[in-house]
Amino acid sequence: MATKTLIGAIAMAILTVTCTDGNAESPSVYRATLAETGQKTKEVSTEEVKQILGDGSAILLDTRSPAEFEAGHIPGARHLDGPAAGHVAAVERLVNGDKSKPLVLYCNGPYCQASRRLADQLIAAEYTQVRRYQLGIPVWRALGGPVAIELGGIARVVGADQTAVLLDARPPTEFAKGTLAGARNLPADEFAAGQVTKIPLPDDDFNRRVIIFGRDAAQARQLADLMGRRPWHNVGYFPGAFEALAVKLRDR
């Protein structure tokens, strides 16, 4: 999504803010929804999605294509196999036929129809607890939410986006022994401790795609969470080991 469109979506969300605690005097963009009228399913806010991911109170479903999911998704989200026409059946398999299972669907934001369409189909199929995070992946990113990017997505980005920046979250000693071609070192532990004075990223384009990897998923996620409090908002991390990523890119 273009920066101008993204800003417009966030502004819309703020103007139509819905607070989870019902307190209209304390609006927050993190508690915002689109507040759509005439919808068959309720919406959830960014704050609620974070809570759901923390307590496991619902299944978060990414309703986009496999390629889009690979290129960046909310960590912990599940993806449905097969074409869109088979997604209702895929959900039934996922929940083992339990149509009362709490579900939250998301897609590419306010102007994307994928989550709305599947939500309506699930309601028609008598699912009873279906909600949508209609602000979707663009606003999740803009509000500092971490995004996971899979091996296939990284391979495509490296091949197609020559402006993308790879950040290695490992310590300098490990970085010096070998890293990915063109990668820059930003040690997660040193960054967390406030020991980094200069982030090795361009400060003239905060929309630059940034892909973080580390020794393992935990180290990459640590740096991704820290970057969520910085102005670069097109950041994803690889939820796996450095060795697996190195093999994938070497074998391309």
Q: How many CA atoms lie within 13 A of 75 on its CB side?
A: 21
d(CA 4, CA 50): 25
Q: 195 exposed, middle or buried (CB, 10 Å; 0-12, 13-18, 19+)? A: exposed
What percentage of the chain exceeds 90 in pLDDT? 80
Q: Residues 88, 101, 76, 244: what is their CA dihedral angle, to the nearest 10 degrees?
A: -60
List, for residues 46-101, the tens digit of each pLDDT value. Answer: 999 999 999 999 999 999 999 999 999 999 999 998 888 899 999 999 999 999 99
pLDDT beyond 80 at 163: yes
Model confidence pTM above 0.85: yes
Is the Cβ–Cβ distance between 239 and 221 less than 8 Å? yes
- Are β-strands 103-106 and 78-79 bridged in parallel, bridged antiparallel, or unpaired? unpaired
List, for residues 86-142, the tens digit of each pLDDT value. Answer: 999 999 999 999 999 999 999 999 999 999 999 999 999 999 999 999 999 999 999
Q: H or E element: which one contains 213?
A: strand 210-213
Q: Which residue has the higher pLDDT, 163 or 27?
A: 163
DSSP secondary structure, 116-172, as one string: HHHHHHHHHTT-S-EEEETTHHHHHHHTT---B--HHHHHHHHHH-TT-EEEE-S-H
pLDDT of res. 21: 47
The two domains 3-142 and 151-250 share their CATH topology (first three levels equal): yes
Closest C-alpha among 71, 239, 79, 243 to residue 155: 71
What percentage of the chain exceeds 70 in pLDDT? 89
Per CATH, domain 3-142 is 3.40.250.10: yes
Query: Residue 229 corresponds to which tokens in the numbers above?
Result: 């409090």
Q: Is the dihedral of CA 108, 112, 114, 118 positive or negative?
A: positive
Query: Residue 237 corresponds to which tokens in the numbers above?
Result: 């991390």
Query: Residue 8 corresponds to which tokens in the numbers above?
Result: 């417009």
Architecture of domain 151-250: 3-Layer(aba) Sandwich (3.40)
pLDDT of res. 159: 87
pLDDT of res. 18: 45
d(CA 162, CA 183): 12
* Size (the chain), residues: 252
pLDDT of res. 47: 97
What are the domain boundaries of the chain? 3-142, 151-250
Is the Cβ–Cβ distance between 220 and 183 less than 8 Å? no
